[in-house]
Amino acid sequence: MHATGETVPPAAPFSDLPGPAAGQSTGVDKAAEGPSWHRELAAAIRDADRLIDLLELPEATREPARRAARLFPLMVPPSYLRRMHPGDVADPLLRQVLPLEEEFHEVAGFVEDAVGDAGSRRADGLLHKYHGRALLITTGACAVHCRYCFRRHYPYGEEPKRLEEWNPALKAIAGDRSIREVILSGGDPLMLTDVRLEALVERLAAIGHLRRLRIHSRLPIVLPSRVTARLLDLLTGTRMQPFMVVHANHARELVGDCADALRRLVRGGIPTLNQAVLLRGINETFEAQRDLCETLINLGVQPYYLHQLDRVRGAAHFEAPDAVGLEIIKELRRHLPGYAVPQFVREVAGAEHKTPI
């Protein structure tokens, strides 16, 4: 079935959660209320029992979810929860966030630092893997804890917290004129308050050879109220060209307030791209990827990468074979215009760029 941007509003289990139901537009004025995203974040589900009760999941899911949530904490914002179908353990959004017993399985080749972050660390908070661009680990916080996250074991406690602690990283960027682009990552950089984010962006804009600012964020997808008028002004208010790279894996994520947020980014003049991850049991079919890509381009968002799963410890149950992804890309090329077909890639530790598959 093609995604239409509409969904059946969930029933009673969600009546005590703040924010609009899936498929219910927030409108620009509502989304511009800066404090609302803080309130929604505070209301995020962090307890496995509450998630299971709200979604009316089978009792058999309870104890494994409790155990795996101790291994890697659970976190699901209300907006994202509202897009899930109660009672459906196979729901593609739920499967991205539900802790499972499989996370305890030790599988050869699945390691804590799947993409070689440690080897590319140049200063506190600064990763420099690829020519011309560098990445800042702005925070360890996220609005959602995806169970396949490639940084689920990252030592965030070692990274800068206060603005002055960024001085070594900023000095390193200023001293390397080959760096033209800075990527704000994490965690999720949009978890920073506007005040802290603006202070960091202003310091980057003061480095004359920087030309582009790229934000990698899942918040426009899972916490759409974060896309405020002030945020748009902040990102477009410097001489650097901003880019927003969001992360959606399934067309059913791209409805209601999420669709509104993506339109605001695009119509606000910020080029917006999507990175998806090929995930077994979630989106490893042509139909799922077709609907995702079509929904993205209808919102003005360009499908950018389809990532093969990063082989992080605890996520082996999400891996689909390369051949599956290659067949999907082949079919996408047959059915969609070229600009709607993402590149199928993997990240190889130590490589000079993403590796096409």
Annotated binding site: 142, 146, 149
Cis peptide before 175 (omega within 30 of 0): no
Residue list, annotated binding site for [4Fe-4S] cluster:
142, 146, 149
- Residue 224 region by backbone torsions, left for phi larger than 0, else alpha for psi between -120 and 50, else beta: alpha
CB 83 within 8 A of CB 256: yes
As a whole number of angstroms, the distance between CA 198 and CA 195 comes to: 5
As a whole number of angstroms, the distance between CA 354 and CA 345 comes to: 6
Using a CB cutoff of 8 Å and minimum separation of 24, what contacts does 121-125 make? 122/169, 122/172, 123/168, 123/169, 123/171, 123/172, 124/158, 124/159, 124/160, 124/165, 124/166, 124/168, 124/169, 125/159, 125/160, 125/165, 125/166, 125/169
307 forms beta bridges with 277, 345
